[in-house]
Amino acid sequence: MRKKFSSIDTEGMLSIKKINREKSLLFIDDSAGREAIVPIFDLLKILNEQGCLKDNGFFGYDTFQSVFTWRYASEKMRSVFSVLYERIEIPGRIWVAVAKVQSKHGIISTAQYEDIRDTINGIINSPESLDVLLRSLELEKEFDHDVIATKEAFAELCKIGGGVIHHGLTSMDNVNNTEAIILAEALAIIELKIRKLLSILVRRMDENIGLVC
């Protein structure tokens, strides 16, 4: 009789006996010979907590995690909807853009803007972005506010302009624009793929124009 999943030995090999895709369940044997029925997400969570997925970017913060992720989404689309992109890279770009305008109008100093720009741009698309994300998640426990936690994580690294990041903005200024940018980039990916598909269809139609169906 199989028991509902509670704990599992990941020191050895896991034997996946059956996959129920509709209910997102795995029927597995662990290295201790115990049988278990485990939701896919629960297994991934346990493996991640035990460090088994630490070096596997497929299940990292840089990819969107879903039961459909590895089957239907492209690597680029997973990246666009990832926690790292939504919480660090896009908000960072927004804060740099806002600081540039504020500097132009004398709201903050040029030195503050340049510090924000150079620091954040140096973090985005670099391994350091993961460190900032993890710091943000840590700070969220203190502030109970995701945007402020991310702002403070960046501010800790901006020695001159850290205090004016997010100056004059509300959380929704950042969140709404972040979501709009993500959706725009996702739609751009879809548009490009549709154009490629239509191009292939047109080519195949030309190649088979004389074929009687």
pTM for this prediction: 0.69
Beta bridge partners of 36: 3, 28
State which CATH number among 1.10.275.10, 3.10.310.10, 1.10.490.10, 3.40.50.10140 fits the domain covering 80-187: 1.10.275.10
Beta bridge partners of 19: 26
Which residue ranges make up each domain of the chain? 1-55, 80-187
HSE-up of residue 190 (Cα within 13 Å, Cβ side): 9
Q: How many CB atoms lie within 10 A of CB 176?
A: 11
Helices 171-207 and 146-155 sit at what angle, rounded to 10 degrees? 100
CA distances from 34 to 7, 9, 27, 51, 181 (A): 10, 9, 11, 21, 47
Least confident of 78-82, 115-119, 188-192: 78-82
pLDDT for residue 24: 47
Rounded to whole angstroms, the Cα distance separating 172 from 164 reads 17
pLDDT for residue 28: 54
Mean pLDDT of the chain: 81
Q: List pLDDT tens digits, range 78-94.
A: 889 988 999 999 999 99
In the predicted model, is pLDDT for residue 71 greater than 80?
Answer: no
Q: How many CB atoms lie within 10 A of CB 130?
A: 15
